[in-house]
Amino acid sequence: MHEMETVVVSGQEKDYSGLKIKVLNLFRPKLPCPKVRGEFDLFRRRLVNFVDKAYVEDVIPILLAAFYCRSDELVNQCVDRIARSDLDNISIEKELPYELSKRIELSRKESMSDDEQVSEAVVRLHEKAIRRIHRALDRDDIELVGILSRESHVTLDDANCLHYAVAHCDYIVVHKLLHLCFTVVNRRNSQGYTPLHIAAMRREPSIIGFLLEKGACASDLTFDGRRPLSICRRLTSIKNYDAKTEQGQPTNKDRLCIDNLEREMRRNPMADDASITSQDAVNGTFDLNL
């Protein structure tokens, strides 16, 4: 399963960032063991209070942890929250086990009128073509991606191929898509995210750097007013940002991501928060005691 990177609520809900980081740390890379389930129970009530306030992407790791820790109340709340959101079916199916994605699908159908259900059936046919293209991306088969796109009359931008590759594929797939000019680097998906916003959630410096090199705009705002830099900052703990790397060990990816985005923001005189340093932002957001 792909390691999930998501956006953390801001402002008055900023304490949730620590909770989400805690959930992710407990949850990866394996299913929760009894010890993890015990730790999860310690802050389950706090998560219940935050589900309805959180961005929908943040609800996914909470739902996964609740599902594997058998917290039915929290599972039901998360399923309802996602069902009411604008998160697309393809993303839901990619990130969640079949049982959960099916529950969300059924919950959405229950609230639809007859006309909406007919329209949904048409959408499902379109999504079927998109899934085939995404599976080709999973296999790093760019040639097949092009063939499927032509056969189905679904453009790579319609399928949000660059968003998908940035979220789930290796750097080389992203490189091939952009190198061949198959897609638009600053295109927004249905939730208002550009590929760079998605890359900031994933926190992979090689992908962030390549997108910037190809013209990705670091000052683009999501529909709710977040830039890639602010997304990346809020996903990074002080401990991870300040972590020292021993000789011969991999470079600190969290620091690289923030530094790359911050450097790009400084080049943009229109950026509102370009003068804020990485350390100031991290200190102001992640000093949480759980």
| Residue-wise pLDDT tens digits, 188-239 | 998 999 999 999 999 999 999 999 999 999 999 999 899 999 999 988 888 8
Q: Band the pLDDT of 247: cuts 50, 70, 90.
A: low
Quick check: 250 pLDDT over 80?
no
- 94-105 pLDDT, tens digit per residue, is 999 999 999 999
Q: Residue range 124-142: average pLDDT?
A: 93
pLDDT > 90 in the chain, percent? 50
Q: Band the pLDDT of 60: cuts 50, 70, 90.
A: very high
Q: Band the pLDDT of 290: cuts 50, 70, 90.
A: very low
Q: Residue range 19-44: average pLDDT?
A: 57
pTM of the prediction? 0.76
Q: Which amino acid is at 76?
A: N
Q: Band the pLDDT of 126: cuts 50, 70, 90.
A: confident
pLDDT in the model for residue 277: 41
pLDDT in the model for residue 4: 35
Q: Which of 18-22, 122-126, 222-226 has the lowest mean pLDDT?
A: 18-22
